[in-house]
Amino acid sequence: MAELAFGVDIGGSGVKGAPVDLVTGECTAERVRIPTPQPSTPKAVAKTVAQVLAEFGDAAAGLAVGITVPCVVTHGITRSAANIDKKWIDYAAADVLADILGRPITLMNDADAAGLAEVYYGAAQGQAGLVIVTTLGTGIGTAMIYDGVLIPNSELGHLEIDGFDAEKRAAASARTEEDLNWNTYIKRLQRYYEVLEALFTPDLFVVGGGISRNSEKFLPFLRLRAPIVPAKLRNQAGIVGAARFAHEQKTV
């Protein structure tokens, strides 16, 4: 019988969830997506998470539940808020979610969840040493995993590079908003990743976010010592990583 856990990925536009097979990293049922409520206050979002779980009925009963948020998370408290209501800042989110759902939950940063998913089931599977996973989107999310152990809340998209917050120059949104051609954008990515490499000397970079679908247009042109590869799990990564992390926390 498969070992299962349930993953929920809270985003600025949608709350998505599904049960996950922890051996294969695959969702065992079609994921459910419900639009993120507006305003996206913690209690309103928690009720939406409850609706997602309710869609699966008995299939979700008894499973460890992992939930991602676009926030820094320390000891169950959300310390920041990206593309979500500012009431999440310094909020006891894990306790509130558990209370509204009526069950224990594990809460984590969304980029960290995506990183774990890539290490266990995706592009970094079997990779020893330090893996840095970056998601290029509206901003830059990052996850650092060393020998399978997550170093949470790295927030390396906010490094100051050449006087700029890195994500303001190198996020996928910067390419779109500034109408950059690929050559110009590649130069920005090169600068970003070479600084990351100088600081952390990773064994592997994994690049996610929607732009990774066009990875052949930029990844082969980056000159780094470490390999840099596209992510594999894409839209499923948050759900899968959250489920895996919840299972790990339950079994500690």
> Do residues 144 and 115 lie in contact, with contact meaning Cβ atoms separated by under 8 Å?
yes
What's the pLDDT score for residue 51?
Answer: 98
For the cut 80, the answer to whether the pLDDT of residue 16 exceeds it is yes
For the cut 60, the answer to whether the pLDDT of residue 252 exceeds it is no
Q: What share of the chain is helix, strand, coil (3-state, %, to 5)?
A: 40, 25, 35
Residues above pLDDT 90, as percent of the chain: 95
Tell me which H or E stretch contains 242.
helix 237-251
In this prediction, residues 211-239 reach a mean pLDDT of: 96
For the cut 90, the answer to whether the pLDDT of residue 190 exceeds it is yes
Residue with token string 């070479």: 194
Q: How far apart are CA 15 and CA 239, in angstroms?
A: 10
Average confidence score pLDDT of the chain: 96
In this prediction, residues 79-88 reach a mean pLDDT of: 95
> Do residues 100 and 89 lie in contact, with contact meaning Cβ atoms separated by under 8 Å?
no
pLDDT tens-digit map of 26-69: 999 999 999 999 999 999 999 999 999 999 999 999 999 999 99
One-letter amino acid identity for 251?
Answer: T
> Do residues 221 and 186 lie in contact, with contact meaning Cβ atoms separated by under 8 Å?
yes
pTM of the model: 0.95
pLDDT tens-digit map of 88-139: 999 999 999 999 999 999 999 999 999 999 999 999 999 999 999 999 999 9
CATH of segment(s) 4-112+236-251: 3.30.420.40
pLDDT band at residue 234 using 50, 70 and 90 as cut-offs:
confident
For the cut 80, the answer to whether the pLDDT of residue 250 exceeds it is no
For the cut 80, the answer to whether the pLDDT of residue 251 exceeds it is no
For the cut 60, the answer to whether the pLDDT of residue 1 exceeds it is no
Residue 24 burial (10 A CB sphere; 0-12, 13-18, 19+): exposed
Query: Could you check whether 4-112+236-251 and 126-231 share the same CATH topology?
Result: yes
Q: How far apart are CA 231 and CA 127, in angstroms?
A: 14
Q: How far apart are CA 155 and CA 251, in angstroms?
A: 27
What's the pLDDT score for residue 147?
Answer: 96
What are the structural domain ranges in the chain? 4-112+236-251, 126-231
In this prediction, residues 172-178 reach a mean pLDDT of: 97
Name the DSSP letter for residue 105: -
What 3-state class would DSSP assign to 251?
Answer: helix
For the domain made up of 126-231, the CATH class stated in words is alpha beta
Q: In this structure, are strands 65-69 and 106-109 parallel, antiparallel, or unpaired?
A: parallel
